Structure 1
Amino acid sequence: MRERQASRNARRAREFEAFVAGAAGRLMHAATLLTAEPPDDNPRARRLLTAVLAHTYAGWDRLHGEDPYDRTRQYMAVRFARGAWHEYGGLGRAYPRIRPHPGGVLRRLTPQERLILVLRMYEGVAEEQAAALLGLPTERVRAICARAMATLLHPPREAAAPVAKVVPS
């Protein structure tokens, strides 16, 4: 009995290691985009990915033929959304309590905009699937994605430098 359990655990570990070897890079990039951190300095993204992979490993035996990448991505989205409430004070807040790193590509977006944009554009998740995952109407997901894309493609202009007063002589 113990030998069978040990064999099962070893097989499970090998399967999970193979999954992580193939998917960790893409998942790390998605986590980095979600947290709006630069790729070379992303501690929040690393914590998110570690928690997500631990959750996937804990439920590995319960996948029953489901795509582990899909399940892991879903949990990452849910975990990020939940964490945004604690870290940013809500998904829709533009200014987090903890300032994002200045080098993050998606730093101008709210956490909700980043989440939807990453799901739709980077991960290729359909609007309907993203809406179901986040509990939003499909039209809302479409509108948030369009607003996020507009913000990225046409960023707000920086404030103009103050003009020095000219004193007449």
Structure 2
Amino acid sequence: MRERQASRNARRTREFEAFVAGAGGRLLHTATLLTAEPRNGNPRARRLLTASLAHTYAVWDRLHGEDPYDRTRQYLAVRFARGAWHQYGGPVRVLLRGRAVPDGVLRNLTPQERLILVLRMYEGVAEEQAAALLGLPAERVRVICARAMATLLHPPREGAAPIAKVVPS
């Protein structure tokens, strides 16, 4: 009995390690895009991914043919959305620009805009799937994605540099 359990655990660990070896890099990039951290300094993204992979490992035997990448991505997105709720003090959909501005490429987007844009454009998740995952109407996901794309294509202008004050001699 113990040998069978040990063999099953070893197989499970090998399968999971193979999954992480194949999908870990892409999932880390997804988490980095969500947190809008720079690629070489992304502690929040790494914590988010670690928690998501731990969850996937915990339910590995219950996947029953389900795609582990899809499950991990879903948990990653939901965990990011919950974290944004707690970090910014309210639902992701009412977050305002200008709070704790991140450094990454997607820094001008709200957490909700980043989440929807990453799911739709980088991960290729269908609009209806993203809407169901986030508990939003599909039309709302479409509007947020369009607004995020517009912000990326036409970023807000930075304030003008201050003019040096000329002091008469």
Tell me how large the CA RMSD over aligned residues is: 1.7
- C-alpha contact 1:28 1:49 (8 A) present in aligned 2: yes
Percent of residue pairs bearing the same amino acid type: 85
CA distance in 1, matches of 2:41, 2:124: 25
- C-alpha contact 1:94 1:111 (8 A) present in aligned 2: no
- C-alpha contact 1:52 1:75 (8 A) present in aligned 2: yes
Structure 1 residues 34-113: aligned runs within 5 Å: 34-90=34-90, 91=92, 92-96=95-99, 98-100=100-102, 102=103, 104-113=104-113
CA distance in 1, matches of 2:147, 2:71: 27
Aligned to 2:148: 148
TM-score if structure 1 supplies the norm length? 0.92
Aligned to 2:18: 18
Shift of 1:162: 4.2
Letter in 1 for 2:147: R
CA distance in 1, matches of 2:10, 2:3: 10
CA distance in 2, matches of 1:38, 1:55: 25
TM-score if structure 2 supplies the norm length? 0.92
Q: CA offsets, 1:124-164, max 9 Å, x none?
A: 00000000000000000000000000000000111223456
User: Alignment length, in residue pairs?
Assistant: 165
CA distance in 2, matches of 1:95, 1:57: 36
Shift of 1:166: 8.3
CA distance in 2, matches of 1:26, 1:125: 14
- C-alpha contact 1:93 1:111 (8 A) present in aligned 2: no
- Give unmatched runs, 5+ long, in structure 1: none
- C-alpha contact 1:77 1:115 (8 A) present in aligned 2: yes
